[in-house]
Structure 1
Amino acid sequence: MSRYTGPSCRLCRREGTKLYLKGDRCYSDKCALNKRNFAPGQHGKSRKKTTEYGMQLREKQKVRRFYGLTESQMRMYFDKADKMKGITGENLLRLLELRLDNVVYRMGFASSRAEARQLVTHGHFLLNGRKADIPSLITNVGDTIEVKEKSKSSDKFKALMENRAGNTVPWVDVDVEKMRGTIVTQPSREDIDLPVEEHLIVELYSK
């Protein structure tokens, strides 16, 4: 399945919750979900009977859209999480949180995950001192992510750092002046502020 390239706000309306795909716009009155809080399409306002499968599917789609994943990527991460020790659903979310593009977003070096993915692809970051341009790369505790020296002087990153309201993610430590961040511990479920019921995803893929 190819990556979705349509209107981002349409995805939020379909899932009935903010996915924060448009950065600052999602926090403003311009958010489409504030204006039209119903599913897109001709029958978006009509009530539909929700089945058990439908609930499981929606949770899976919600997580996919939060992190910008294709279906094959989502399945790959689930299979990997299922083989790890611990609770499969929490393992899945932890893996997704440790993706390089998501860590860049969590550190405040991008206003959205989509923007973080683009910035990583364009080679604006160093991972442990080396160029890293693969958004799906899984990071580890102790890894350091830094904006490249040439990119630090850009208006884009200066604005991001000026508007950054402190470090609100407990599992990363960020030095705003140096535009550098370090993963200090693995994110726990309590640290992941996603309104999803991951056990439904496990049930869906376990059928």
Structure 2
Amino acid sequence: MVQEIDTTVPDWTSIYMEKANHENQMMLRGNVSPLELAQYISAVSNKDGGYILLGAYSEPGYGAGYEDTDPELVNEALKLVTGHNVKYQEYSPRHQRIFLFTIEKSDSIALANGSAYIMKNGIPTLISEREVLEKLGLGLDSSLINMLSDQITEQSDTVSALRKEVAEKGKLKNQISGLLVGAFIGWIFSTVLNAVFGLGA
């Protein structure tokens, strides 16, 4: 985790804005969409962890400042994040509502709306299949995964064939019991006819 931010220091937000680096200490304007915020949270978590100051900006030629941020934006974004618990605090510098997210490095994969992201050049970027596997510690390549998948499919076909055979044997078993009942009834009928008409004598 990056160095802890001391929010007890007067005007800590200005210090934060001066040191923002777009990788593990970044700022997002208060008008981002919930999905964009979720993607940033996923990306920071899947890399090394860090901080997001939501509702602050510092742009050359435009200056720096704060934007009142709707808490519903935060709530909607957090609904899209899975695989990671997000901590945040609300602050009000200069009477503007902003949020500081403290994001730990994820032990597994943090998702945003079902997809995994990682920070690349300060932008959330979808993680490739290989990166996901490496992050999960599997280290398998696609050819090995395809081979395993083919083997599982073959085994599934074998299991299906066995199930079909068992079902056919089950039908035959039911037919045998019916044939035995029919044979027994036939024997009784034959015995009765023999007794009545003396056919066997």
Give the TM-score, by structure 2 length: 0.25
Larger Rg: 2
Higher strand share: 2
